[in-house]
Structure 1
Amino acid sequence: MNKIDKQHPYSKINFNNVVYLGAGNGDGLEELINALNAKHWTLIEGNEKKARQLASTVSQLNNKSDINVKQAVVSAKGGEQTWYNYNLNEFSGLKQASGLKELFPGLKLQGPQPIETEALSTLLAEISGKDAGGNNALIIDLPGYGTELINALQNSGELQRWSFLAITAPESVLFDQGDDVEKLQQKLTDLNYHTRGETGDDPDFPVLYYVMSEAQRKLVAERDAAVAEKDEALALASSRSEELDEAKQKNAEWVSSLKSEKKDLEQKLQESWKQLKQAQTQAQRYKNESDELQKKLEATEKNSEQLAKLNERMDSMFEQQRLQLEQAINALGQHITQTSSQQVTELKARLSLERSFGRNLVELSDNNSNLNEITAVSLTQQLEENSYDLIIEFGAGKSTEFLANAIINNHNPNRQLENKSASNDFSASDFDLPQQVLSFEYDKKQFNAVKKRIEQNNLQSLVDLKYTPLVPTEHSSHLFYDCARTLTNVANLLEGREAKVLIVVNPSSEQSGLHYESTLSVILGSLSALQLDILLNNSMATKALQQDWSQLLKCRSLPSEEKRGNGVYLLRINP
């Protein structure tokens, strides 16, 4: 323990915490404690024997300060390290004292050994965390270790808690990979600490006293926060660049796969034409044989009637074979053409979505729900061309996330929905005001999965997801979503307004008990006064469904328009 001057540089400061690293066996401790006014003391010594002597010394002090003795070997990073034992115990430590051999020729290394250490930043965080306010002083009486320990505290963010430092350093480098006075002074100056030049009375191992003001501490904290924010932004930019590169690679692989499939289809078409030529050759051979037979039959002058029937049968047989071959070839050609055309259409739709959404484009399919690219493009066009007050969706899934992201991408949050006045006969507490997308889902597992993705992607402000089990509809035993009360509340909210609503029918899975034919009757039961756009996939819009809906609208005297295109069927009511 360094000898303390009669007038300590920090004697007029009131400290909350004072931590002393390398406190030794307690020599001069009472003088130091009397010189400093501190609420809490923590004395740390790595040597077990010295630590016991230090605890004994503390127990005999009359000072009433809170003094805690801890035996621990402290390092910058913590963990297992090598301890170097010397015959002069005061120079034993985690660094070899190569430079001390000139000052102490008799100094000898007795042998290294592994030892477990504690990280200084962790140790100080535990101490200051209990009562971190006020002034805190850190005394480091470990010559050669000062700069390394200060660096560790700076990197952990713990240094700014300790505005008063007293660090012992050698005048020259005496320990391997250690520091000296000049290096330590430069480090503390760079960290905005200042000094009045006070030192201890040991010329070989002076004590450096450095202080950081409250204003300087705030500036350093702000600077460190700004640097951390910059590093985080750079890391995020790098991550997004990697994601973009990965997306480009996947797109290239997809295009390559399509080219390969196209090549395979072309090869199959060539093989089909080859088979056709072979069939034509075979048909010609049959005809030649038939002609030859005809000549033989004529030569035999047999019954002309039987010969005519035989010729008629053979001609019919050959004609049937020719027609069958032509039908097979035409069907194969149409299949190949349709397959290629469908893939091209899907590719164009995918590219259109990527141009519109960029990397914000969500995956359109998972294990439980699927939204094809062509339908997604149609939904995007509807949202771009119309300003809807509300979007109602039957069947939550990937389409739900896509609709929310499409609204964000269009930057079109305008809507007419608001709470009704108190004069109405329903209370706002009876119904949560829906977001721009009101989605119904009957499957609990699917509902939970979609809800989790919405929360993960922070889409709650756009999507109002409702769990609505299947129930019989009002006028039939057909099962449909239990959504009648919610739709009635929506109608009340929109009463008296020329509201425009988009209704998307996009089931998350096939369900034999669910009748989507009931969609129109359920919707008209509450929202018949509004302008409604009902959109569903072409495969769902069967001829029977269209006839039923047309009859229902006719009975209600509701005007409507319908059109097909881009793989979807759109029915507009009250245009």
Structure 2
Amino acid sequence: MDKIIHVGAGLGIEVAVYLTACAGEIILVEPNPKLADQLRKQTSNEPQVTVIEAAITTNPAYNQLYEYNLPEACGLHTATGLKKLFPGLKIHTVNTVVTLTPQQLLQEHAPEPGQSALLVLETPGEEYAIIKDLVNAGKLKKFSHIDVSANPEAYYQDSVPAAETLRLLAEDGYDVTVEHQEDPDWPRWQLVRNPLKDAVVKLEQQLVDKQELLVGFQQELEKEQQAHQETTKKLEDFKGWLESRKKQVSELESSADQAVKELETLQLKIKEMDTLQLKLNETECKNAERQEQVRELAETNRTITHENKKLKETVAGLEKELVRTEAQISTIKMLMLDQQGEL
């Protein structure tokens, strides 16, 4: 065996067997400080052995190690169901311990691809949760062999019967090779990963992948068909739009012809207006000339009027002078007549 990871190594009874089997690397995990220290002393001359003082749990809140007056009953869970079998069962010590999740443990100590590896679980009440966590993460398959102890009933708080744990292992491709029932309350099973099941799982995964691929192709085909239908509809809409535009173009061409005619008529009217404008300009020039003549006539009239006034004044003066002269002449005539009479 290339690697052995023993979770819940306890007193290390199996260590000698592991060393005899020439295991390349041995990882002993034990939460009890006293037992962990004992394991370190026991294997101090074995460089291939590593002792980890920690409890393996999927819930770090389970960091209390319950020690009972029955040593094999010690664990992270209270032995609720076990007390029915052992009425005298009592807790004598509770220790707060360091915890690691299963995946944290494997971050540094996971088997390499191609290695033969054994996982031993002696974790009262926690074995199902550990196995399920590794199965969900796809990491349990790294182990070619599994040795697990489990109770036939749920003897601990939050635990499950052994049958559930074995079912989970069987579903993940492990076959039971040896069943130890020396102690019916703490049976133990040795399991081996069936390579045929790996092949079946691989084929099933390939089938799932192909089915997903087929579903993807069908979805793509449906999308393409939908897109084709949408494109066809758009094309029909475009044809309708094009026909509408052709009709509009025809109407615009007709309107354009009418506009050309109206433009020609308008151009003729513009020419007529230009001619009238020329005539109007000529008329305005003539009017301007006539206004100038009128102005000159008015000026001449004012001059004549002024001259006429002066003439009238002169005539009036002359008339007065004439009257005076006639009076003088009349006087002279009378004087002459008087003189002639005297003569």
Q: Answer yes or no: same fold by TM over 0.5.
A: yes
Alignment check: 8 A CA contact 1:146 1:179 kept = no
Aligned to 1:253: 230
Instruction: Give the drift of 1:182.
Output: 3.1
Aligned to 1:140: 121
Aligned to 1:219: 196
Give 1:118's match in structure 2, choosing from 78, 87, 101.
101
Instruction: Give the drift of 1:142.
Output: 1.1
Aligned to 1:274: 251
Distance 1:268 1:241, change over 3 A: same
* Counterpart check, 1:198 vs 2:175: no
Distance 1:245 1:147, change over 3 A: same
Distance 1:281 1:174, change over 3 A: same
Distance 1:166 1:148, change over 3 A: same
Per-residue deviation, residues 329-378 of structure 1 (Å, max 9, x unmatched): xxxxxxxxxxxxxxxxxxxxxxxxxxxxxxxxxxxxxxxxxxxxxxxxxx
Aligned to 2:151: 170
Give 1:74's match in structure 2, choosing from 51, 56, 70.
56
Aligned to 2:27: 42
Q: How many angstroms apart in 2 are the aligned matches of 1:289 and 1:183?
A: 101
Alignment check: 8 A CA contact 1:74 1:120 kept = no
Instruction: Give the drift of 1:140.
Output: 0.4
Q: How many angstroms apart in 1 are the aligned matches of 2:39 and 2:266?
A: 126
Aligned to 1:548: none
Aligned to 2:160: 179
Per-residue deviation, residues 279-314 of structure 1 (Å, max 9, x unmatched): 455567789999xxxxxxxxxxxxxxxxxxxxxxxx
Q: How many angstroms apart in 2 are the aligned matches of 1:121 and 1:224?
A: 26
Give 1:238's match in structure 2, choosing from 199, 215, 223.
215
Instruction: Give the drift of 1:256.
Output: 3.5
* Counterpart check, 1:128 vs 2:111: yes
Q: How many angstroms apart in 2 are the aligned matches of 1:92 and 1:289?
A: 106
Q: How many angstroms apart in 2 are the aligned matches of 1:174 and 1:289?
A: 110
Alignment check: 8 A CA contact 1:147 1:184 kept = yes
Per-residue deviation, residues 31-72 of structure 1 (Å, max 9, x unmatched): 322244242321123x4xx25751453224476472101244
**TM-score for the superposition, normalised by structure 2:** 0.57
Q: Which structure: greater helix fraction?
A: 2
Q: How many angstroms apart in 2 are the aligned matches of 1:285 and 1:164?
A: 101
Give 1:83's match in structure 2, choosing from 62, 78, 82.
62
Distance 1:85 1:58, change over 3 A: closer
**TM-score for the superposition, normalised by structure 1:** 0.36
Per-residue deviation, residues 390-441 of structure 1 (Å, max 9, x unmatched): xxxxxxxxxxxxxxxxxxxxxxxxxxxxxxxxxxxxxxxxxxxxxxxxxxxx
Per-residue deviation, residues 144-199 of structure 1 (Å, max 9, x unmatched): 33344344545555545544433221231134553223333445566452344323
Instruction: Give the drift of 1:234.
Output: 1.6
Give 1:92's match in structure 2, choosing from 65, 76, 86.
76
SS across alignment from 1:170: coil
Aligned to 1:554: none
Q: How many angstroms apart in 2 are the aligned matches of 1:22 and 1:138?
A: 11
RMSD: 4.3
Work out which structure has the larger RCO, using CA pairs closer than 8 Å and 6 or more positions apart in sequence.
2
Q: How many angstroms apart in 1 are the aligned matches of 2:160 and 2:127?
A: 7
Aligned to 2:334: none
Aligned to 2:188: 208
Q: How many angstroms apart in 2 are the aligned matches of 1:137 and 1:285?
A: 103
1:367-378 map, 5 Å: none
Question: Structure 1: any 5+ residue segments left out of the alignment?
Answer: 1-14, 291-575
SS across alignment from 2:230: helix
SS across alignment from 1:172: coil
Question: Structure 2: any 5+ residue segments left out of the alignment?
Answer: 69-73, 268-343
| AA in 1 matched with 2:159 | G
Alignment check: 8 A CA contact 2:125 2:155 kept = yes
Per-residue deviation, residues 463-495 of structure 1 (Å, max 9, x unmatched): xxxxxxxxxxxxxxxxxxxxxxxxxxxxxxxxx
Alignment check: 8 A CA contact 2:4 2:119 kept = yes
